A and B are shown apart, each in its own frame.
Chain A
């Protein structure tokens, strides 16, 4: 298994996609952090005041946005085996197909840890001096911020599992990537803002990730952080398990 994971890292390192998507995640994080701070205290803003612990947790949760692009990276990593027809060679080298999918799940979970740590560093680099300038002293070890940052790492990591699992289910690269982007950037943000559906939409993966990282918004309800984490983990594990089972069962043509 160690060799298979090393090979997956080797595959990632020999193309540039991981770097572009990391830069994209950094840019998204910087943008979200800047918006959260710049408009955090404007009158109509639905987020709590920046001086409050809940408002600060919301600012420091923005790194979870890296999860979407990591899921895309993971999905491309799996579906690319079919798109470029390396799946044949890969599964000839490792006829036990579940080990291949497992190695990818572990690899992209680890890449998720890396992505989230970089995005957390970016968040801190932007938020601390800016909030300081506004006269708000943020204790990184208090106000529930450590739990939020741990939640960011966990959420991004689980999105790696979601990407691999979904890729193994769908296999078709363009459909998987477009589906992920449309769902996470467009579809879910729309439905979660429909109050009549909120008793259902709190269980959607993006909302569960926000619950885990303790986002607070006046116009949206979330699960408690622990349950949000469990729901998100359930998505990751179910998709991972389905991806493994289908990869074992389906023919490699």
Chain B
């Protein structure tokens, strides 16, 4: 074991389609033992990046390695990496079990391995039925079973929660957590943060093919708080804040009679209003949530910020 084992390193990866840069000088690292969310809106370049990482699409520039090697150069790729991409299909007339047994043959696993992974993903009873009768969730499970055939050290899953019901998502969460706890690397893409926020430790956020944030979920949630005030005497309070708040307070006026004050606690604002005899109709502490932080990072410049939901303080 070297320290490169199970690590995904993407460096300067670029892919152009005509004049569009689908992936633009993208670099990030994914460490073993963690579940990393690979996030971005549809069209951000997630699938293209994963396909370049897996040697299915050739990049115009940059490199992507898993355990120190480009995927096609791995000595036993299926024992190192298991991947489920969005377009991982099945022949409709073939049973799930036969689908798995074909890849057992390709990879030199005993055929019993197919039954083992079918049981692991909860498809033991459906294994002998043709795939055409499978629900989207069952197909997701079968794709995951295919990825798990080689007992891989690295799992790469493109939108795995698509088509899973809440129970399925909770099952997926437990399975991936168990796999990560065994020291495996898990990279999970999604265009919906809320789908994976219970699941991931780390996030890599992509927008227009560029990296906009890499870090822990906690860092992303580094919450911005402010005090929201509703008052008929907004000008008076504003003047008072300007006198006493000094440089600390940053004040916005989102609407008539409304102030949004950053840098002061609600208690300080309330005390000031009392001494200045300003009538207050509302005084609340608000903060952005994770979803908002994600949306703010991936919003286009011409889009309006999403309205803030209030939370009682």
Contact = CB atoms under 8 A, between A and B. Distances in A.
Contacts of B51: 251-253
Contact of B71 (A11, A84, A95): A95
Contacts of A84: 89-92
Interface stretch (B99-107, B206-214, B247-255, B282-290): B99-107
10 contacts: A7-B105, A85-B89, A89-B103, A89-B146, A95-B74, A96-B72, A251-B51, A251-B56, A252-B56, A253-B51
A16 B130 CA distance: 13
Nearest to A5: B105
A92 B83 contact: yes
A170 interface: no
Given A7-B106, A253-B56, 11 more contacts: A7-B103, A11-B91, A15-B91, A84-B89, A85-B87, A88-B85, A89-B146, A92-B56, A95-B72, A251-B57, A253-B57
Contacts of B78: 92-93
A30 B83 CA distance: 48
The interface centre, meaning the residue of B78, B94, B106 with most chain A CB atoms within 10 A of its CB, is B106
Contacts of B72: 95-96
A14 interface: yes
Nearest to B78: A93
B41 interface: no
Contacts of B93: 14-16
B77 A95 contact: yes
A35 to B, nearest CB: 34
Contacts of A94: 106
Contacts of A253: 51, 56-57, 87
Interface in A1-44: 3-4, 6-7, 10-11, 14-16
Contacts of B101: 10
A14 B106 contact: no
Interface of A: 3-4, 6-7, 10-11, 14-16, 80, 84-86, 88-96, 251-253
B135 interface: no
Interface centre among A16, A88, A89 (most CB of B within 10 A): A89
Contacts of A92: 54, 56, 77-78, 81, 83
Given A7-B106, A253-B57, A88 B87 contact: yes
B95 interface: yes
Interface of B: 51, 54-58, 71-72, 74, 77-78, 81, 83, 85, 87-95, 98, 101-103, 105-108, 146
Contacts of B54: 92
A86 B105 contact: no
B196 to A, nearest CB: 22
A168 to B, nearest CB: 16
A15 B94 contact: yes
Nearest to A17: B93
Nearest to B92: A84
A91 B54 CA distance: 9
B3 to A, nearest CB: 24
A197 B72 CA distance: 48
A175 B53 CA distance: 31
Contact of A14 (B56, B71, B102, B146): B102
Given A14-B98, A92-B54, A95-B72, A3 B89 contact: no
A4 B91 CA distance: 18
A7 B114 CA distance: 14
Contacts of A16: 93
B18 to A, nearest CB: 14
Contacts of A11: 91, 94, 102
A15 B93 CA distance: 6
B24 to A, nearest CB: 17
Most B CB atoms within 10 A — which of A3, A85, A93, A96?
A93
